[in-house]
Structure 1
Amino acid sequence: MTRNLFGTDGVRGTANTYPMTAEVALRLGAAAGRWFRTDGRNGHRVVIGKDTRLSGYMLENALTAGLTSTGMNVLLLGPVPTPAVGFLTRSMRADLGIMISASHNPAHDNGIKFFGPDGFKLSDDVEAEIEAALAGEIRLAQPQNIGRARRIDDGLGRYVEYAKTTFPHRGRLTGLKVVVDCANGAAYRAAPEVLWELGAEVIPVGVSPNGTNINDRCGSTYTQTAAEAVVAHGADMGISLDGDADRVMILDETGQVADGDQIMALLAARWAEAGRLKGGALVATVMSNLGLERFLQGRGLRLERTAVGDRYVVERMREGGFNLGGEQSGHIVMTDHATTGDGLIAGLQFLAAMAETGQPASALVRQFETVPQMLKNVRYQAGQQPLADAEVRKVIAEAETALQGQGRLLIRKSGTEPLIRVMAECEDAALLERSVGGIVAALERAAA
């Protein structure tokens, strides 16, 4: 069964344009509701969270209409981080969790992510079944069985209290000055509150959402804003989240940025030393730097690679019984604490390392020397297949031959945008530039 509507992280697109329309959201809600409500009972419940995008109101109402039309009861959480939806789906014994967010994308985009009753994202197979139901006739509930919807006022508070429990019980952040950039997104209330209640002096950035400024020159994909705040306020470190707070970048006291690979390296080494790292391995994607793999090997640990997407990282973690994984982009998955990437809790783990070692952030953000890596994106139009172009295939084959034994090449389509990502790693900077540049030029000609 194929998935055309769902990408690597739910359904995503430009708001008010297929597939991110109210009509599709309504039918998607009805299809998901019918898939989960198979016994005719009315006790089934769905929790829905969202980030701060203007289009979230439209999609929230449309999803609610679709879900209640099939007899599902809807609990509306309002703006909460994506990991809060995973946590509350399980905590509140819901049958389904939904997050309305396009993560790090601009405000004009939006998306819909689904979580199962265990708090984990739905598998590809389940998403394919929901998509198949969407394409057919959806059986609606009888009038007396239509579901109810209500707002949940304490959902955010529940998540805040839980996030605090993941910080070492005897640890406090007293005396630490922390910048937290919430990207004008879903964590704009939760993240500063958690840090302050744990004792930190908090410098909040990106906490004034207006529906259109999410990820706008702030957050994990634009760390300059947090870096400037760290230096200006003399902060000890910075935490830069994305729009739905499932990914994070950490900054030291000088504004130097640690990406997901460096954070995972730190946690893996610390957890292994404490006997907490299950399976002696870290799970990451094909995008993670070769330097991370070498760092782990030097400590007798393994790097297990997956396809790009935190869902695939989590699937491998669950299959192999591993408890730490993530992506270079900042998704840090700690299944001891959360069912999906959680930027805030990852930030707390970094702060715990600072508190327990007494070392400054600058001593912790650089765990290994990265192998030079270059990543470039090429945008294409709907219906185009630039990777099928004969010249493109020829240039790729030549680059693979040139890099053999000296580095690696990865070319893939984005699962959330019409982009082809070209990534290469190589110690030889000139060869790296030639390889990536040649492929990008060929792709651009094919997509012109």
Structure 2
Amino acid sequence: MKCIRNLKIATPHIIPRPEHNISRANISEHATKVLYRLKAAGYQSYLVGGGVRDLLLGREPKDFDVATDATPEQVKEVFRNCRLIGRRFRLAHVHFGRDIIEVATFRSMQDASEPGDRETENGMLVRDNIYGTIEEDALRRDFTINALYYNIEDFSVVDYAGGMEDLQAGVLRLLGDPDTRYREDPVRMLRAVRFAAKLGFVVNPACENPLFELGSLLQSVPPARLFEEVLKLFMAGVALHSFEKLRHYGLFGQLFPETEEALAHEDHEFPITFVIRGMQNTDSRIREGKPVTPAFLFAVLLWEPVRLLAERLRAAGESPLVAMQQAGSDILMTQLARVSIPKRFSIPMREIWNLQHRFEQRAGKRPYRLLTHPRFRAAYDFLLLRAESGEVEQELADWWTLFQQQDGDERNQMVRQANNGDGDKPKRRRRRRRRSAKPADPR
């Protein structure tokens, strides 16, 4: 089975309403409103891409995108609540409060050498604003399963690329020559991994083979764009599968080179176990509808190189906190060259790391102060993962779990026992510091 298809415009396969399972009741109210208003204004109007794919698979789409023959400027004339965005691809965003319906004009298959608003750099498409027909637009899309159109005119599904057949067979197939399509946009390699993990599809062999060879092309992608792709890979409920597939194709090291280097040369099992447990934890929380923050996710992904560097700095004489702060700064600076991490996530990520050594300090008032830290819960969850993976003793995690559950007197007793058992200071000195027999202030 070949991945390369004849990209000449062909007669589409029309699947009438009785022969597919898409219902307007399952399309968002705002997307339906955009479809009908464009139609009423005299333009072609289709639901396209992942929304159609997921509806056909019986899944709930995350986004609903619209394709039309109206230019972005014409879309803006139809919708007062519309904003035009993008340089690489000019798009119209129709706003309904926090809900945004993305409207794209049909793209052309015009050759890049011909005049028009299209630009390439080293084979990578950096701007493409030449408009065409729905037939051309379908064949310009990345995967066949994303080139399916739901027509609001007669409620049919329009298939120009054999996407319905691949959808039913569970096959992920690129449109066109795989090498060329990956070079046009290297992010398509990450999309192939994401769809394969999310949908459980098999990547067509001709589309899969270049994944092992072209990973270095990701270095030309802006770090900010890769940040968005990483979130899609790891925060869709299939983080573990995505992680495993990325490593299988050699793509993980292009995104997190320091982490891959540490995992590839680590003698113990706990580093890879730690990442796997972190991915499993993320997937479980998403399935249960619990919040997941990118700060925790990135803290997990970068922990091993940070931990190793902090150990070397401590061996050189730095204090635990200074060692961790310096290691976090150095690894983060290297990471930002590949995948950017906004400060709203990198700051709490580093706080999670910096609090880890404080869990070992269970004497005096330190446990009480740590318990009131705004980032305590995330840091505690991080500690649990470290214990589960075998990096730290389970007793330490169990102590902090119990400490949170006890009342004031029982907490004081736990701290006194920790004082007696730490072996670092003589008991006489600890007794001199206590001014009264009153329990320690839990504040």
TM-score by length of 2: 0.29
Q: Which has the larger radius of gyration?
A: 2
TM-score by length of 1: 0.29
If asked which structure has higher relative contact order (CA below 8 Å, sep 6+), I would say 1
Bigger fraction of residues in helix? 2
